[in-house]
């Protein structure tokens, strides 16, 4: 099992979610996060005084899938989230040791 974490532009969330549903993904966790990469921060202006905001708002999507599905899901996310402009975000993939569905006690791939 693998966990895919994608940090994307907030306005791309609906597109990515739609694409994942189309690809057969039945659940995901989403959180509002802040961060920066090559895009760096941006400036705000109050009465002519600049205020540099280092961290930009992003959305992080977490999906746990079977190992054989990883490539397909990552491609789906990358295609849906891409605008081609700086700040599109990143996708991280990592191993998952165990999954438990709290309601039934099912484990691992049955619980995904």
Partner 1 sequence: MQINPADNVFILISTAFVLLMSMPALAIFYGGLTKVKSILNTIMMVGVAFSVVSFIWLAYGYSLSFSGDGAFIGNLKYLFLSGINPSDPAPAADNLYHYLFIFFQMTFAAITVALMAGAFVERMKFSAWLIITVLWATFVYFPVAHWIWGGGWLANLGTLDFAGGLVVHETSGLGALVGAIMLGKRKEAVMLPSSLPLVAIGTGLLWFGWFGFNGGSALGMSAQAVSAAFVTSIAAFIGGFVWMALEWIKFKKPTSLGFFTGIIAGLATITPASGFVDVGAGMIIGFLGAVVCFWAVVYVKNRFKYDDSLDVFGVHGVGGMVGALLLALLAKPEVAEVKGLFFGGSFTGLWHQIVGILAVGAYTIVLSFIIFKIVDKLVGLRVDKETESEGLDEAVHGEKAYQKEI
Residues forming contacts to partner 1 in the complex (CB under 8 A) are 45-49, 51
Nearer of residues 11 and 46 to partner 1, judged by Cβ = 46
Closest CB to partner 1 among residues 45, 102? 45
All residues at 6 or more sequence positions from 21 whose CB lies less than 8 Å from its CB, including other chains: none
Minimum Å gap between C-beta 85 and partner 1 is 20
In angstroms, what is the minimal distance from the CB of 33 to partner 1? 15
């Amino acid at each position: 099992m693998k966990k895919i974490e994608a940090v994307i532009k907030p306005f791309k969330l609906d597109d990515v979610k739609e694409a994942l549903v189309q690809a057969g993904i039945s659940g995901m966790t989403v959180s509002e996060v802040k961060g920066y990469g090559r895009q760096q921060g941006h400036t705000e202006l109050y009465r002519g005084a600049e205020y540099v905001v280092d961290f930009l708002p992003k959305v992080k999507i977490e999906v746990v899938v079977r190992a054989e599905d990883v490539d397909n899901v990552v491609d789906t996310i990358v295609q849906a989230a891409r605008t081609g402009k700086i700040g599109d975000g990143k996708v991280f993939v990592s191993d998952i040791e165990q999954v438990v569905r709290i309601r039934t006690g099912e484990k691992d791939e049955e619980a995904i």
